[in-house]
Amino acid sequence: MDITGRKLFVRALQEEGVDTIFGYPGGMVTDVMDELYKQQDIRLVLPRHEQALIHEAEGYAKSTGKVGVCLVTSGPGATNTITGLADAHYDNIPLVCFTGQVPLGLIGNDAFQEVDIVGMTRSITKYGVTVRSRRELGKIIKMAFHIARTGKPGPVLVDLPKDIQLMPGDAHYPQSVSIRGYKPNEGVHVGQLKKAYKLIKSAQRPLILAGGGVLLGNAQEELRRLAETMRIPVVTTVMGKGALPSGHPYYIGNSGMHGRYAANIAVSECDVLFSIGTRFNDRITGDLNEFAPKAKIVHIDIDTAAISRNVVVDVPIVADAKLALEKLNEWAEPKNTKRWLEEIRALDKENPLEMRRDKGMTPQMVMEGINAAFDRGIITTDVGQHQMWATQYIELNEHKKFITSGGLGTMGFGFPAAVGAKIANPDQPVVCITGDGGFQMNMQEMATAIAEDAPVIVCLLNNQYLGMVRQMQQLFYGKRYEATCLRRRTTCPPNCKGPNGACPPYLPDFMQFAKAYGAHGIRVERETEIAAALAEAKSYTDAPTVIEFLISSDELVLPMVQGGNPMSKMILK
């Protein structure tokens, strides 16, 4: 018996095991929405903005490993998703985003709320397609889920014209799909892997660089085993943070632009760099000519195109991280790396990541407080200085997940991502570390958090500035604070060089903001109040809590490597 497209749509989601969908209505999706109304298996979450909708789906997907499902209307609904889709694309988060579209016959007419969303998102999705016949609907939805979650995951966009949703057609939803142009790498080249193993075995100063691919591939355990068996120190990228528990004796820290001193020096000094699940983004390598200059490089990645793109490597291996590490673990034998480990530890003593206690409530102390308050749960961050402090100081173990926007660096990501993660994990504490700038980019999601019963804890580091940019102005632009002070008004002098007693008050008052939504607000001005504030926030399970930490405006993220410089050239003080 034939069924309508809208019925098949819901059936497809049910068969894919979708339990939650992040949706925002509009003229071109009212039919599928109406169909969702009639069923109970799938929960529909209504965000307050489509950009946040995508970030919520990202938080959901990253915290569960499942595909995040999104549904928005055509035109502005669709264009509002673009930043989110790009974010998911660069951080390889599996999403299927359905966009409503005007009826097939109107496409091309500049109809009301018609945009070529497939065209607009071509370079920021893994795959995108407009459903042009009712007959293909089932197959395309099946393809979308398959492509989103296999290989290197990513966002897939399916554009659904209104008439397709209404048209009767085949009721069947396919169980599997074969796509002739899409065959993700499933095996691993054992010969290449042997070469890699020989190289590590012969190394005097081997180093593992673990990227986000280790987490995407769920290969943390295998990585730990390899490091432990062969006694190899590990550094991570920002996206790879958590690949090894931060307290692990072989874990040095993050490498890259704001990496730990010992980690960056170790990369510069190692003789074999075993890198896995990273695309050697410029924030990791700095000046390419001086990246790991003494090392032979092994590079394992599931994406062929990530290999030998930025860094020329000696042993390229296309493989899933888990599979490759499992194989290596079969061969792994202990090595003597004692001197090398000691050397690295000495470097770390020389320039450790300090727990600064020199002036009032430092951002480090806030991170320390969060570490002490949570030994399990999910931590999301926004983008800026607070994010870098979090990547430096937040401690992770097997029971903690870290979710951040690495590839695109999307301000406004952290809070909705936390809400999405909390919706997926109601039993886990979810903490969002955010800045006063980025929080304002999506703070309307407080309504979603309340409505969806997602009591997240927002740790807002208020430095009254777009701190990350301010830091650059402070260090490299003669303190010309153009467009970074969030207190600035027309009444301010034109060439302000920093805060003074005459500054206008900060807007908004985040405590009143919390109150307006029925959330809890706690303002923390002194380091002595940190622990109590976090404990209080943990005790609230009825609504989200915003803890506003009033930190100083001139804090810097250090160490720092200026863009384009070699990683060994760190600004330390």
Partner 1 sequence: MKNRWIALYVENDVGVLAKVSGLFSGKSYNLQSLTVGTTEDETVSRMTICVASDDITFEQIKKQLNRMVEVIKVIDLTNVPLHMKEILFAKVLRCTTADKEEVFQIAQVFDVQVADIGKDSVLLECKLTERRNNELIALLRSKFRHIEIVRGGAVAIESISTSCR
Ligand X SMILES: Cc1ncc(C[n+]2csc(CCOP(=O)(O)OP(=O)(O)O)c2C)c(N)n1
CB of 182 vs partner 1, minimal distance in Å: 5
CB of 267 vs ligand X, minimal distance in Å: 24
Give the pair of three-digit tokens for residue 125.
Answer: 């999705």
CB of 384 vs ligand X, minimal distance in Å: 3
Stretch that binds Mg ion, among 121-129, 225-233, 360-368, 465-473 (CB under 5 A): 465-473
Stretch that binds partner 1, among 64-72, 179-187, 370-378, 514-522 (CB under 8 A): 179-187
Active-site annotation holds for 113: yes
Exposed/middle/buried for residue 194 (C-beta within 10 Å: 0-12, 13-18, 19+): middle
Cis peptide before 174 (omega within 30 of 0): no
Active-site annotation holds for 112: yes
Helix (H) or strand (E) holding 216: helix 212-216
Contact flag: residue 127 with partner 1 (CB under 8 A): yes
CB contact at 8 A, 234 and 277: no
Q: Which of 28, 239, 365, 468 is catalytic?
A: 468
Say which DSSP state 165 is in.
Answer: H
CB of 86 vs ligand X, minimal distance in Å: 10
Contact flag: residue 436 with Mg ion (CB under 5 A): yes
With CB under 5 to 8 Å by kind, the binding choice for 309 among partner 1, ligand X, Mg ion, none is partner 1
Q: Contacts with Mg ion in 131-170 (CB under 5 A)?
A: none
CB contact at 8 A, 4 and 166: yes
What's the rounded Cα separation, in Å, for the pair 26 and 85?
A: 19
With CB under 5 to 8 Å by kind, the binding choice for 468 among Mg ion, ligand X, partner 1, none is ligand X
Query: What's the count of helices (H) and strands (E) in the chain, helices before strands?
Result: 23, 20
Distance of CA 247 to the CA centre of its chain: 22
Backbone φ, ψ for residue 115 (5° rounding): -135, 155
Contact flag: residue 435 with Mg ion (CB under 5 A): yes
Characterize the bridge pairing of strands 68-72 and 3-4: unpaired
CB of 510 vs Mg ion, minimal distance in Å: 12
Q: Which of 126, 142, 162, 322 is catalytic?
A: 162
CB of 533 vs ligand X, minimal distance in Å: 18
Contact flag: residue 179 with partner 1 (CB under 8 A): yes
Amino acid identity for residue 459 in this structure: C
CB of 89 vs partner 1, minimal distance in Å: 12
What's the rounded Cα separation, in Å, for the pair 436 and 462?
A: 5
With CB under 5 to 8 Å by kind, the binding choice for 386 among partner 1, ligand X, Mg ion, none is ligand X
Residue among 221, 161, 201, 145 nearest 397 (CA):
221
With CB under 5 to 8 Å by kind, the binding choice for 469 among Mg ion, ligand X, partner 1, none is ligand X
The smaller minimum CB distance to ligand X, of residues 125 and 404, is found at 404
Contact flag: residue 118 with partner 1 (CB under 8 A): yes
CB of 130 vs partner 1, minimal distance in Å: 7
Cis peptide before 508 (omega within 30 of 0): yes
The smaller minimum CB distance to Mg ion, of residues 314 and 554, is found at 554
Say which DSSP state 286 is in.
Answer: B
CB contact at 8 A, 74 and 101: yes
Contact flag: residue 260 with partner 1 (CB under 8 A): no
Binding-site size for partner 1 (CB under 8 A) equals 21
Q: Give the footprint of ligand X on this chain (CB under 6 A).
A: 382-386, 409-412, 435-438, 461, 463, 465-469
The smaller minimum CB distance to Mg ion, of residues 114 and 555, is found at 555
Q: Which residues contact 340 (CB under 8 A, 6 or more apart)?
A: 204, 205, 206, 233
Active-site annotation holds for 241: no
Active-site annotation holds for 354: no
The smaller minimum CB distance to ligand X, of residues 243 and 485, is found at 485
With CB under 5 to 8 Å by kind, the binding choice for 438 among Mg ion, partner 1, ligand X, none is ligand X
With CB under 5 to 8 Å by kind, the binding choice for 139 among Mg ion, partner 1, ligand X, none is none
Sheet holding 315-318, edge to edge: 251-254, 234-236, 206-210, 272-276, 296-301, 315-318
Q: 288-317 mask for partner 1 (x: CB under 8 A)?
A: ---------------xxx-xxx--x-----
How far the first Cα of the chain sits from its last, in Å, is 72
What's the rounded Cα separation, in Å, for the pair 363 and 355?
A: 9
Stretch that binds partner 1, among 163-171, 175-183, 430-438, 509-517 (CB under 8 A): 175-183
Per the DSSP assignment, residues forming a β-bridge with 460 are 434, 548
Q: List, as one string, the DSSP characters of 166-205.
A: H-EE-----S----TT-----S--HHHHHHHHHHHHH-SS
With CB under 5 to 8 Å by kind, the binding choice for 119 among ligand X, Mg ion, partner 1, none is partner 1
User: What's the maximum distance between 2 C-alpha atoms anywhere in the chain?
Assistant: 75
Distance of CA 185 to the CA centre of its chain: 24
Amino acid identity for residue 533 in this structure: A
Stretch that binds Mg ion, among 268-276, 345-353, 431-439, 522-530 (CB under 5 A): 431-439
Residue among 9, 5, 22, 15 nearest 448 (CA):
22
Active-site annotation holds for 468: yes
The smaller minimum CB distance to partner 1, of residues 182 and 540, is found at 182
Which chain residues interact with Mg ion by CB under 5 A?
Answer: 435-437, 463, 467
Catalytic residue numbers read 50, 112-113, 162, 468
Which chain residues interact with partner 1 by CB under 8 A?
Answer: 118-119, 122-123, 126-127, 129-130, 132, 147, 179-182, 303-305, 307-309, 312
